[in-house]
Amino acid sequence: MSTPVKTPKDTVHFAITADAHPAALSRIVELFTLRNITPDLIRACCYKSPAFPDEILSVDIHVFGLSVPEQDIIRHNMAAQILVHSVRQENLYQKSPAKLAS
Protein backbone atom coordinates (compact mmCIF):
# COMPACT_ATOMS: atom_id res chain seq x y z
CA MET A 1 0.00 0.00 0.00
CA SER A 2 1.23 3.50 -0.80
CA THR A 3 1.67 6.09 1.90
CA PRO A 4 1.40 9.75 0.86
CA VAL A 5 4.46 11.76 1.87
CA LYS A 6 4.41 15.53 1.64
CA THR A 7 7.49 16.57 -0.29
CA PRO A 8 8.48 20.24 -0.02
CA LYS A 9 8.76 22.09 -3.31
CA ASP A 10 12.57 22.16 -3.62
CA THR A 11 13.48 18.67 -2.48
CA VAL A 12 16.56 16.81 -3.69
CA HIS A 13 16.33 13.03 -4.04
CA PHE A 14 19.53 11.00 -3.77
CA ALA A 15 19.25 7.37 -4.94
CA ILE A 16 22.27 5.37 -3.80
CA THR A 17 23.27 1.75 -4.33
CA ALA A 18 25.99 0.29 -2.13
CA ASP A 19 27.33 -2.96 -0.76
CA ALA A 20 25.02 -4.38 1.91
CA HIS A 21 27.69 -3.85 4.55
CA PRO A 22 26.77 -2.90 8.14
CA ALA A 23 28.73 0.37 7.88
CA ALA A 24 27.39 1.52 4.51
CA LEU A 25 24.21 3.25 5.70
CA SER A 26 25.89 5.04 8.60
CA ARG A 27 28.69 6.29 6.32
CA ILE A 28 26.15 7.68 3.85
CA VAL A 29 24.07 9.41 6.53
CA GLU A 30 27.22 10.76 8.20
CA LEU A 31 27.84 12.96 5.14
CA PHE A 32 24.70 14.91 6.06
CA THR A 33 25.57 14.96 9.77
CA LEU A 34 28.97 16.53 9.07
CA ARG A 35 27.20 19.40 7.27
CA ASN A 36 24.58 19.78 10.06
CA ILE A 37 21.78 18.67 7.70
CA THR A 38 18.86 16.48 8.74
CA PRO A 39 17.35 14.58 5.79
CA ASP A 40 13.55 14.71 5.49
CA LEU A 41 13.32 11.06 4.43
CA ILE A 42 15.67 8.08 4.52
CA ARG A 43 14.58 4.73 3.11
CA ALA A 44 16.92 1.74 2.91
CA CYS A 45 16.38 -1.76 1.55
CA CYS A 46 18.65 -4.78 0.92
CA TYR A 47 18.08 -6.96 -2.12
CA LYS A 48 19.79 -9.58 -4.25
CA SER A 49 20.53 -8.58 -7.84
CA PRO A 50 21.57 -10.88 -10.69
CA ALA A 51 24.05 -8.18 -11.76
CA PHE A 52 26.00 -8.43 -8.48
CA PRO A 53 27.23 -11.53 -6.64
CA ASP A 54 26.48 -10.07 -3.18
CA GLU A 55 23.48 -8.30 -1.67
CA ILE A 56 22.95 -4.65 -2.56
CA LEU A 57 21.78 -1.84 -0.29
CA SER A 58 19.43 0.64 -1.95
CA VAL A 59 19.09 3.99 -0.15
CA ASP A 60 16.73 6.85 -1.00
CA ILE A 61 17.27 10.17 0.75
CA HIS A 62 15.13 13.31 0.39
CA VAL A 63 16.48 16.66 1.60
CA PHE A 64 14.71 20.01 1.40
CA GLY A 65 16.46 23.31 0.74
CA LEU A 66 19.98 22.29 -0.27
CA SER A 67 21.87 24.80 -2.36
CA VAL A 68 23.35 23.58 -5.65
CA PRO A 69 26.93 23.65 -4.27
CA GLU A 70 25.83 21.59 -1.23
CA GLN A 71 24.10 19.09 -3.53
CA ASP A 72 27.25 18.73 -5.62
CA ILE A 73 29.54 18.29 -2.60
CA ILE A 74 27.29 15.68 -0.97
CA ARG A 75 26.84 13.75 -4.24
CA HIS A 76 30.59 13.80 -4.89
CA ASN A 77 31.41 12.66 -1.33
CA MET A 78 28.84 9.85 -1.53
CA ALA A 79 30.28 8.60 -4.81
CA ALA A 80 33.76 8.63 -3.24
CA GLN A 81 32.71 6.20 -0.48
CA ILE A 82 34.33 2.78 -0.93
CA LEU A 83 31.10 0.83 -0.36
CA VAL A 84 29.00 2.96 -2.76
CA HIS A 85 28.37 1.68 -6.30
CA SER A 86 26.32 4.56 -7.71
CA VAL A 87 24.67 7.84 -6.78
CA ARG A 88 21.82 9.38 -8.74
CA GLN A 89 20.40 12.79 -7.92
CA GLU A 90 17.22 14.47 -9.04
CA ASN A 91 15.39 17.61 -7.99
CA LEU A 92 11.73 17.08 -7.16
CA TYR A 93 9.33 19.85 -8.07
CA GLN A 94 5.92 18.49 -7.20
CA LYS A 95 2.50 20.03 -6.87
CA SER A 96 1.03 16.99 -5.10
CA PRO A 97 2.38 14.72 -2.33
CA ALA A 98 4.73 11.92 -3.34
CA LYS A 99 3.71 8.33 -2.65
CA LEU A 100 6.08 5.77 -1.22
CA ALA A 101 5.45 2.13 -1.97
CA SER A 102 6.01 0.17 1.22
The pLDDT tens digits of the residues spanning 61-98 come to 999 989 899 999 999 999 999 999 999 999 887 555 55
| Res 3: pLDDT | 61
Tell me how far CA of residue 76 lies from CA of 45, 71, 72, in angstroms.
22, 8, 6
At the topology level, CATH places domain 2-95 in: Alpha-Beta Plaits (3.30.70)
101 bridge partner residues: 2
> Any idea what DSSP says for residue 33?
H
pTM of the predicted model as reported, rounded to 2 decimal places: 0.78
